[in-house]
Amino acid sequence: MDGINTDRVAILIKKASLAAERAQSPILQGKGLTVSQYKIIKYLYAAPADSVRLVDLEAFYSMTHPAVIDVVKVLEKKGYCERIPNPADARSKILSLTERAYAERGELEALGDEMEEAVTANLDDAERTQLAALLRKLIGE
């Protein structure tokens, strides 16, 4: 492409993100989940039970409040989570996983492993480790 530097890091990151989503989406399709829905469920699995606020998800995934609300509403309809009052702050809600989410945990975590493999299929173990380290450095972790 004339005039466009396709080696720019910002362009490559965006293209990699889109490619990752294209690789992950078919894996989740059988469960009727999107990548955004899956990553919120995965976050809730990793956090202590009944401790996650919407603002925690917004900060962790750099998502807007409306985007998080939209995803959570769909997850509630699908029976994976529910919003409960926050005992420490009546103005906020806490996300709680449902029995369905816990019952499907092993299956969903296996899909996560499958998605990771699909996204990094062209990399060897050393390259995966190096890429993860570089991405963490890029985002300031």
Q: Is the predicted pLDDT of residue 2 greater than 90, yes or no?
A: no
Q: What is the pLDDT of residues 73-116, one digit of tens each?
A: 999 999 999 999 988 888 888 999 999 999 999 999 999 999 99
In DSSP notation, 29-53 reads: HTTT--HHHHHHHHHHHHSPTT-EE
Q: Is the predicted pLDDT of residue 46 greater than 90, yes or no?
A: yes
Under DSSP, is residue 57 helix (H, G, I), strand (E, B) or coil? helix
The residue type of 18 is: L
* Helix (H), strand (E), coil (C) string for 58-76: HHHHCCCHHHHHHHHHHHH
Task: Name the residue among 93, 78, 79, 80 with its Cα closest to residue 42.
Answer: 80
- pTM here is 0.85
Q: What is the pLDDT of residues 94-104, one digit of tens each?
A: 999 999 999 99
Mean pLDDT over the full length of the chain: 92
